[in-house]
Amino acid sequence: MSAPQAPVFRVRNLCKTYRSGEVEVRALRGVDFEARGGEFIVILGPSGSGKSTFLNIVGGLDRATSGEAWFRDHDLTRANEAGLTRYRRDHVGFIFQFYNLVPSLTAFENVKLVTEIARNPMDPAQALALVGLEDRMDHFPAQLSGGEQQRVAIARAIAKQPDVLLCDEPTGALDSKTGVRVLEALTAVSARTSATTLVITHNAAIADIADRVVQFADGTIASERRNDSRKPASAVSW
């Protein structure tokens, strides 16, 4: 049996309070979390329960108010702006609900934008082939369906060969059939690149494709479960 892998993420008592004027919102109230290399984790929870705040902090897009968040030996709660930018550039691939593609660039060029500044990129054509878009590389976003645009966004996220893939409602704007195709692409690239993958969704049907399911409520992790076996994305519907 191989030795257990060290955690990729270690989060302890993470708290985040947003303040605007007199108003305080306690978005995270003491989150403890670990993720191991290559794990595929689905994060469920009602709107406002702190999921995006959590993902943004472990992705180096936002800062905690207190507590600790480590990526390997990088202390994300004490890093300065330049350190967080480096962390994001070198280690993290993001996928959001809305694809954020550059409309005036082709699918290939959208991916190339990232590979040009990455340390260890794959060929943009290879990244697009991994999500099944080898025939659409020269199309502009407006010439692609929503699901295809999201697959370009996945290709863009994985083309720099990130250690972690952070996905915030990646199928939130898609119908079931298209969403399943996107999840198939996501699980395939996650397995292929061994990226630790965190997927936020409000859609409980998606939980079955995960190794582990984390349930947020009121700014904390209310429960966690491990799936004995993972369903293929093709077997999910909603």
Question: Between residues 49 and 150, which has the closer beta carbon with respect to ligand ADP?
Answer: 49
Question: Between residues 144 and 214, which has the closer beta carbon with respect to ligand ADP?
Answer: 214
Question: Between residues 148 and 168, which has the closer beta carbon with respect to ligand ADP?
Answer: 168
Question: Between residues 50 and 170, which has the closer beta carbon with respect to ligand ADP?
Answer: 50
If we measure between CA atoms, which residue out of 59, 40, 193, 194 comes closest to residue 127?
193
CB 52, min distance to ligand ADP, A: 3
Q: Which amino acid is at 28?
A: L
Helices (H), 22-171: 51-58, 81-91, 107-115, 124-130, 146-158
Give the start-end residues of each E strand in the chain.
7-20, 23-36, 40-44, 66-71, 74-75, 92-95, 164-168, 196-200, 212-217, 220-226
CB 219, min distance to ligand ADP, A: 7
CB 48, min distance to ligand ADP, A: 4
- Which residues here bind ligand ADP, judged by CB under 6 A? 18, 25, 27, 45, 47-53
CB 212, min distance to ligand ADP, A: 18
CB 168, min distance to ligand ADP, A: 7
Distance, CA of 151 to CA of 183 (rounded, Å): 9
Question: Between residues 41 and 144, which has the closer beta carbon with respect to ligand ADP?
Answer: 41
**Contact 105/113 with Cβ under 8 angstroms?**
yes
